Amino acid sequence: MLAGIGCFVWGFMASPERAWINYLVDAFYFVSLGLGGGLILGITSVTSSSWATPYKRIPEALTKFLPYGFLIMLGLFFGIHTLYEWSHHSVVEADPILKGKAIYLNSSFFMIRIVVFFILWIIVTKVMTTLSNRQDQTNDPKITAKLVKWGAVFLIIFGFSYSLASFDWLMSVKPHWFSTIYGVYMFSGLFVNVLAVITFMVIYLQKRGHLIGVVTEDHLHDLGKLIFGFTTFWAYIWISQYLLIWYSNIPEETVYFVSREQHSWDWLFYFNLAINWVIPFFALMSRNSKRSSFILYRVCILLIVGRWLDLYLAVAPDVYEHAGQTNAQIGIIEVGMALGFGCLFTLVVGRALGKSNIVAKNDPFLEEGIHLQQ
């Protein structure tokens, strides 16, 4: 974590744009994981699903990062003028398009939306995890019905707020450009990433002697199928956005991809598709590979890195373009800051897991979830 802070300071002294790009990418990455935990809890509660019950403490632990993510995102206020050209009054006044968007894209309203989003996310996820822990202590069957209601509330809030947060924090980096599929694109990446992290943690905990007799190859198979399916869904949204913009060939839309297909960005642009879909697709195609902890573990690591690259490509080319730079920069600063954020995330999630039973012993769907059959 200290090394990550050092890399941020080093990057800020060398190039403020580089430091704040990584700050935004890493903050969005780990906040999305926290929300992904809430999403899994919401989906399984509303649908009365049992497949995730044996390891539901993992997505619950992921949500514990959201208060820390809130504090980190508030720090974005100090980098707002570096990242977002719409935050400069002189630029807005000279640009009719930005002037028309100023009622929404302005610094004050931007920060207010951050506060509102996080208050909603933190409150609802806190209620869900508190109810779940109370069920462990009291074995009250009425809590299950309450979890269904709060899960539905979270899904509704998440659907709107995560799309708006994606528009605010990422898409508005290039305020003249927009994509009507952007919210779905960011959701697809979030869902694949949270599945990869949960699977990674399940296998890791098994290796440490936890979840023995609770999670079997059948559970890994289910997680493998979900990862396999939703990496393809991500690729479908990726290619849909690309092709729709490509064949319409409208300059105000194509400018987004033009900047990512030249200089040193082009190989990263296509490597992004390879690492997030092509390799996982062939690696997980067979039934045996989905049931193999050895293969799943490594595919998850690949996807965890791939999600970071996907977000980096959503932000960095445009910020660097505003700063007059054309080439990609991925080095010690990027790796160090990502690891620093990752260490904080691991500390928070690890402590949350250590404070409760690793298995939700009084969940009414636990037995069904343990005896999952293919």
| pLDDT of the residue at 263 | 82
Torsion of CA 203, 158, 143, 220, to 10 degrees: -20
Q: Is it the case that residue 373 has pLDDT exceeding 80?
A: no
pLDDT of residue 262: 85
Higher pLDDT, residue 321 or 116: 116
In the numeric block, the tokens 């932000």 are attached to 315
Instruction: State pTM to two decimals.
Output: 0.95
Give the residue extent of every domain in the chain.
2-358
Q: Are 175 and 105 contacting, i.e. CB atoms less than 8 angstroms apart?
A: yes
DSSP-derived secondary structure letter, 63: G
Q: Is 85 helix (H, G, I), strand (E, B) or coil?
A: helix
Residue 326 binned pLDDT confidence (cut-offs 50, 70, 90): confident
d(CA 58, CA 63): 9
- C-alpha count within 13 angstroms, C-beta hemisphere, residue 230: 22
- With vertex at residue 217, the alpha carbon angle to CA 282 and CA 356, rounded to the nearest 5 degrees, is 115
Task: State the average pLDDT over residues 218-236.
Answer: 96
State the Cα–Cα distance between residues 266 and 207, nearest whole angstrom: 39
pLDDT mean over 249-278 = 91
Residue 374 pLDDT > 70: no
Share of residues in the chain with pLDDT > 70 (%): 100
3-state helix, strand, coil in the chain (%, to 5): 80, 0, 20
Which of 60-69, 108-117, 211-220 has the lowest average pLDDT? 211-220
pLDDT at residue 275 is higher than 70: yes
Angle CA 76–82–86, to nearest 5: 95
Which pLDDT does position 228 carry in this prediction?
97
How sure is the predictor about 100, in pLDDT bands with cuts at 50, 70 and 90?
very high
**pLDDT tens-place string over residues 116-126:** 999 999 999 99
